[in-house]
Amino acid sequence: MERWPTTRLLSTAARLVEISWNEKLKSIGLTHAGVIAMQVLAAKGAITQAALAEVARVKAQTMGTTLARLELHGHVTRQRSDSDRRSHVVTLTEAGTAALAEAVKLEQEVLSPVAVDTARLREELRIVVRGLAGLPAPEKESHEVETDVPQV
């Protein structure tokens, strides 16, 4: 690993974190993708399925699959839009809010066995994501959930 390029280290670490987190999330009927969708819904409120996919930066078909699973577990509801019958409005349910809170707790456990400064790592990763996504640097430090780039 000492000779691996930074991109390979980052990619491998991301895969290992996602595998570990998905194992923990499985116990509450969630996946990493589902948590991202639910975080967006918690931050933005009810929005269309298409808008949710756009904010989460996934294809509409991918979001549809994720939402079908979330809906099956009672974490979200989808209803036809009153203004555009072709689109669906997605809402986070009470059960979804509770599951999301549990997922946040489980997320803390993923890196707990690793000797790393998670606050510093998080800030460095935010810089990478913002830079590669072409997003402007924040004007001041904020601890709010960002809705333009889902938290991981």
Tell me the C-alpha distance between 63 and 56, whole Å: 9
The answer to whether the pTM exceeds 0.75 is: no
**Range of lowest pLDDT (8-12, 42-46, 86-90):** 86-90
Position 26 scores a pLDDT of 92
Segment 36-50 mean pLDDT? 95
Q: Tell me if 143 is assigned to some domain.
A: no
Segment 58-80 mean pLDDT? 94
Position 84 scores a pLDDT of 75
Position 141 scores a pLDDT of 53
pLDDT tens, residue by residue, 2-17: 999 999 999 999 999 9
Residue bearing the bigger pLDDT, 139 or 97: 97
Q: Tell me if 150 is assigned to some domain.
A: no
pLDDT range class, residue 140, cuts 50, 70, 90: low
Written in H, E and C, the secondary structure of the chain is: CCCCCHHHHHHHHHHHHHHHHHHHHHCCCCCHHHHHHHHHHHHHCCEEHHHHHHHHCCCHHHHHHHHHHHHHCCCEEEEECCCCCCCEEEEECHHHHHHHHHHHHHHHHHCCCCCCCHHHHHHHHHHHHHHHHCCCCCCCCCCCCCCCCCCC
Q: Tell me if 138 is assigned to some domain.
A: no
Q: Tell me if 5 is assigned to some domain.
A: no
- CATH number of 87's domain: 1.10.10.10
Q: Tell me if 14 is assigned to some domain.
A: no
Nearest to 38 by CA among 89, 90, 81: 90
Position 150 scores a pLDDT of 44
Identity of the residue numbered 71: E
Tell me the C-alpha distance between 129 and 132, whole Å: 5
Q: Tell me if 83 is assigned to some domain.
A: yes
Q: Tell me if 54 is assigned to some domain.
A: yes
Per the listing, tokens 């709010």 go with 144
Task: Share the mean pLDDT of the chain.
Answer: 88
Instruction: Answer whether residue 149 shows pLDDT above 50.
Output: no
Q: Tell me if 2 is assigned to some domain.
A: no
Domain count across the chain:
1
Q: Show the domain range for 23.
A: 19-133
